Amino acid sequence: MTKEQKNFIVAMATYVTKYAPQYGISVYSPIIAQGILESAWGKSKLAAVYFNYFGLKCGSKWTGKSVNMTTQEEYKPGTKTTIKDNFRVYDSMEEGVKGYFEFIQLDRYKNLRGITNPMQYLQTIRDDGYATASDYAADVYKV
> How many other C-beta atoms are found inside a 10 Å radius of the C-beta of residue 113?
12
> How many other C-beta atoms are found inside a 10 Å radius of the C-beta of residue 82?
8
Contact (Cβ atoms closer than 8 angstroms) between residue 53 and residue 92: no
Average confidence (pLDDT) over 23-39:
97
pLDDT in tens, 64-115: 999 999 888 878 888 888 889 999 999 999 999 999 999 999 999 999 999 9
Helix axes 29-39, 93-103, angle to 10 degrees: 110
What pLDDT was estimated at residue 99?
A: 97
pLDDT band (50, 70, 90) for residue 60: confident
Q: Which residue type does 6 have?
A: K
What pTM was estimated for this model as a whole? 0.92
More confident residue, 32 or 81: 32
